[in-house]
C-alpha cells in the first residue's frame, strides 16, 4: 500500500477479514470506521501529510463506511464507476485524503451496490448521525480514559447507540479507531461477532489535536 492511504494502513491489521463473495449490494450491515486523526499525524507518514496534519485540525475523521457480513466482509466488488473529482473534493472535510476517498470506493463502496455519489452521500449521513462528545472534538491536551468509559461518553451523547454497536481499536494504548455499526438504512445495530474491542491496555490515550 502507498503512504497516501494512511487511515487504511492504520486499521488494516485490525479489520475483520474479507470473504469470497463479491457481489455488489449483497451484505448484512454497515460499519462506520472513525479514525482518531492525531494518532496518524504522530506517525512518520503523518508528518509528511500537510492536508490532514498541518493545514487542518482534525479529531475524529471518517476512515470508511464498510459493507459487512455477520462475519467477514465483501471487498473490491466489480464496478465500472469511478469517483468524480467533485465528489472527492466534497468529502475532504471528513475524509482528509483524496487517495483515501478513491481507495474506499474501490475497496468497499463498490460493494454497497450504490453509485459513488450515493455511497459517499451515505458516508456523510452516517458520519453526521454520530454526535462526537465535546471532550473529544478538539482536545488541546492528551485524554487518558478507560475504553469502557470512552464508549460510555459516546452512548451518553448518542442515545440510539448500544454498547454492542461500538468497538474501540487501539495501537498499543493509543486510540486508533472507533467503529460504529448500523443497519443498511442507518439505524444503530449490534456489530458482527468478528467486530470487537481491540485495546490491550487498561486505559486508552487520545493524542491532542494540534
Query: What percent of the chain is predicted at pLDDT more than 90?
Result: 80
Q: What is the pLDDT of residue 54?
A: 81
Q: pLDDT tier at 98 (50, 70, 90 boundaries)?
A: very high
Tell me: pLDDT of 111 over 70.
yes
Contact (CB, 8 A) for 100 and 107 = no
pLDDT greater at residue 46 or residue 126: 126
pLDDT grade for 116, boundaries at 50, 70 and 90: very high
Residue 3 has pLDDT above 90, yes or no: no
Percent with pLDDT over 70 in the chain: 90
**C-alpha cell at position 51:** 492536508
How high is the pLDDT of residue 20?
53
Could you tell me the pLDDT band of residue 206, with boundaries at 50, 70 and 90?
very high
Q: CA-CA distances (angstroms) from residue 152 to 75, 113, 161, 197?
A: 31, 34, 10, 14
Distance CA(198)–CA(165), nearest Å, equals 14
* C-alpha span between 209 and 150 (Å, rounded): 17
Q: Which domains does the chain have, with CATH numbers?
A: 6-206 (3.90.730.10)
Burial of 179 (0-12, 13-18, 19+ CB in 10 A): buried
For helices 116-129 and 98-107, angle between their N-to-C axes, nearest 10 degrees: 110
Average pLDDT score over the chain: 90
Question: What is the reported pLDDT for 9?
Answer: 41
Task: Indicate the pLDDT class of residue 122, thresholds 50, 70 and 90.
Answer: very high
Closest CA to 175 of 44, 11, 51, 4: 11
pLDDT at 36 over 70: yes
- pLDDT tier for residue 55 given thresholds of 50, 70 and 90: confident
What would the pLDDT profile of 156-204 be if each residue is shown by its tens digit? 999 999 999 999 999 999 999 999 999 999 999 999 999 999 999 999 9
Residues labelled as active-site residues: 63, 104, 108
pLDDT digits (tens, 9 = 90+) for 66-95: 999 999 999 999 999 999 999 999 999 999
Give the C-alpha separation, 119 to 125, whole Å: 10
Amino acid at each position: 500500500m502507498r503512504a497516501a492511504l494512511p487511515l487504511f494502513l492504520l486499521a488494516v491489521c485490525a479489520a475483520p477479514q474479507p470473504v469470497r463473495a463479491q457481489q455488489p449490494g449483497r451484505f448484512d450491515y454497515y460499519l462506520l470506521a472513525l479514525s482518531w486523526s492525531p494518532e496518524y499525524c504522530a506517525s512518520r507518514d503523518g508528518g509528511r501529510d500537510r492536508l490532514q496534519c498541518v493545514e487542518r485540525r482534525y479529531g475524529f475523521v471518517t476512515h470508511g463506511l464498510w459493507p459487512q457480513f455477520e462475519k467477514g466482509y465483501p471487498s473490491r466488488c466489480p464496478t465500472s464507476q469511478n469517483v468524480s473529482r467533485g465528489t472527492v473534493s466534497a468529502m475532504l472535510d471528513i475524509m482528509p485524503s483524496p487517495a483515501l476517498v478513491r481507495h474506499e470506493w474501490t475497496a468497499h463502496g463498490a460493494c454497497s451496490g450504490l453509485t459513488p455519489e450515493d455511497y459517499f452521500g451515505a458516508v456523510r449521513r452516517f458520519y453526521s448521525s454520530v454526535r462526537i462528545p465535546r471532550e473529544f472534538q478538539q482536545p488541546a491536551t492528551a485524554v487518558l480514559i478507560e475504553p469502557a468509559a470512552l464508549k460510555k461518553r459516546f452512548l451518553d451523547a448518542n442515545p440510539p447507540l448500544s454498547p454492542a454497536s461500538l468497538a474501540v481499536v487501539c495501537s498499543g494504548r493509543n486510540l486508533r479507531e472507533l467503529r460504529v455499526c448500523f443497519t443498511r438504512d442507518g439505524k444503530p445495530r449490534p456489530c458482527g461477532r468478528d467486530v470487537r474491542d481491540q485495546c490491550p491496555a487498561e486505559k486508552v490515550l487520545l493524542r491532542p489535536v494540534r
